[in-house]
Amino acid sequence: MFVDKPEDVLQKLAGPQSIVICQEEVTSEELNVDKAVSKGLHKVDSKLVKVWGPTLYHPDDLPFSMDNLPEPFTVMRNTLEKRAKVEVRELLPDPKLPAANQADGSLKDVPSLEALGFSKEEISEMQTQDEDKRGVMKFTGGETKAMERVAHFTKTALKTYKKTRNGLIGESYSSKYSPWLACGCLSPRMIYWKTREYENAHGGQTVDTYWLIFELMWRDFFRFYCVKHGDSVFHLSGPKNTRRAWSRDSKLINAWKKGQTGIPWVDANMRELLQTGFMSNRGRQNVASYLVHDLGVDWRYGADHFESLLLDHDVCSNYGNWVAAAGLTGGRINRFNMSKQANDYDKDGRYVKMWCPELKELPSKCVHSPWDLSSSEQSRFGVLIGSDYPAPIRAPKRGYTGGGGGGKDNRPRRNGGGRYKKTKNFRGKGRVHRGRTQDFYTS
């Protein structure tokens, strides 16, 4: 086991005239690594071969180039499904690999956590930390576990996917394929053909099987979108160069990250992410909307936080969704009403009470708006707002129309009702501060 930059490690491992095969990437940081690896291999008379694999549809089969991707998503989908009727390629046969030479035992050597760069304090914390039983399921890496998940979900829950996909609790409400897709343990085409097998055995396509493939098409769209728009996807003003005044108030950002905003629906989702590395699709849309539209915070802090914690982080899907949530792609702006969304998808408050145990004694009708409780009610239910559970960091919005899709009021929120606060440069753990910058206003 070697721990170093891939361009350094692979150059040492490759013998003369070796071929190193990897999946083709589309975003600049990954492409820069590819260039460095290729340059290093060339020095030892070897080469890097990149193979396309992350999408349902192969770029060579598209009726348009990725640089000319039709937008928005619905136009692309109609082009592929109705106009061009593009087919998904068949799966390749499993490769027959030669037996690995383990004579020197090198493949059996597992490096210590210290060798991987973890401090003694971090190791101690990891070893004493129990798995959070509230998580949707245990994710174990590798193709074997990925295929077990596909078989299990297809057999037990695919038949109700369209109805349950906006769920919040448990392993069956959605496929949960995304961590294995993100790590390359599972391909979109494998999911497609396994779903087709199910359809053939159960009387054909259903709304549930179609909707699963529909979600895979969204992944394709964001990957092609990143090819078309390049680094502008990571810039503050987005692909359409839309200028807005953004807040970078650290108190707002940290409260959001820690699930301490005082909005139970937001806090529950953020705490699940923090503790488990996973969050439902419904939750992701809502916490993004809350950060950028209710708090008016620079959307890149949200994308950066997701990149740092998500088990299923995918560069294109994550940043594509965030820049769209911020209203910077020219498409419809989904500004969600937190109260309505909470009552639509967690009516009995079970999810909120699971992740915000401070509120577990509240009646279901009160759990999503505890700030409305009188002092005597707070005492009776054992939760003092502002003490046991935080008061809202921003007064909850009243009088939204509808459920959050297509809201037209996209004005940034002000800090404390006054002038927009001048901010310091962005700093984060994810890719925004690692070279995709012009400056931290236009980048």
| pLDDT tens digits for range 32-69 | 999 999 999 999 999 999 999 999 999 999 999 999 99
Q: What is the pLDDT of residue 440?
A: 24
Torsion of CA 421, 425, 428, 433, to 10 degrees: 140
Helix ranges (H only) for 106-166 are 120-128, 143-156, 161-164
Could you give the CA distance from residue 69 to residue 228 in angstroms, rounded to a whole number? Answer: 7
Mean pLDDT, residues 226-231: 98
**The pLDDT of residue 33:** 96
CA distance linking residue 338 with residue 404, whole number of Å: 8
Average pLDDT over residues 300-320: 98
CA–CA gap between residue 290 and residue 311 (Å, rounded): 22
Q: pLDDT, tens digit, for every residue of 133-177? A: 999 999 999 999 999 999 999 999 999 999 999 999 999 999 999
Q: State the residue for tokens 């092609």.
A: 224
Q: What is the pLDDT of residue 125?
A: 80
Worst-scoring range by mean pLDDT, 136-140, 308-312, 388-392, 410-414? 410-414
The tens digit of pLDDT for each residue in 180-199 reads 999 999 999 999 999 999 99
**What is the reported pLDDT for 109?**
66
Tell me the two tokens of residue 276.
Answer: 């488990």
Of 23-37, 287-301, 338-352, 416-430, the least confident: 416-430
Residue 191's SS3 state is helix
Residue 97, pLDDT score: 76
The Cα 270–Cα 261 span in angstroms is 10
Q: Which pLDDT score is estimated for 436? A: 36
| Burial environment of residue 57 by CB neighbours within 10 A (0 to 12, 13 to 18, 19 or more) | buried
Question: Contact, 267 vs 275, CB < 8 A?
Answer: no
Asked if 307 and 429 touch (Cβ cutoff 8 Å), the reply is yes
Exposure pattern of 72-82 as b/e (b: 16+ CB <10 Å)? Answer: ebeebbebbee
What's residue 106's pLDDT?
Answer: 52
pLDDT value of residue 100: 61
Integer distance in angstroms from the first to the last C-alpha of the chain?
Answer: 37
Higher-pLDDT residue of 219, 396: 219
Q: What confidence score (pLDDT) does residue 238 get?
A: 97
Asked if pLDDT for residue 401 goes beyond 50, the answer is no
Give the CA count within 13 Å in the CB-facing half-sphere of 383: 23
pLDDT for residue 397: 66
**Is residue 328 within 8 Å of 348, Cβ to Cβ?**
no
Confidence (pLDDT) at 128: 73
Question: What is the rounded average pLDDT for all residues in the chain?
Answer: 87
Confidence check: pLDDT of 331 > 90: no
- In this prediction, residue 396 carries a pLDDT of 74
**pLDDT of 294 strictly over 80:** yes
Per-residue model confidence (pLDDT) at position 417? 33
Determine contact, residues 308/429, Cβ cutoff 8 Å.
Answer: yes
Q: Tokens 């409260």 map to which residue?
A: 255
Q: How far apart are CA 199 and CA 67, in angstroms?
A: 34
* Structure confidence at residue 95 (pLDDT): 83
B/e letters for 347-382, b = 16+ CB within 10 Å, e = fewer, are: eebebbbbbbebbeebeeebbbbbbebeeeebeebe
Residue 406: the pLDDT is 37
Cis peptide before 95 (omega within 30 of 0): no
* pLDDT, position 180: 98
* 361, two tokens: 């004694």
pLDDT at 114: 86
Question: Measured between alpha carbons, how far is 272 from 24 in angstroms, rounded to an integer?
Answer: 32
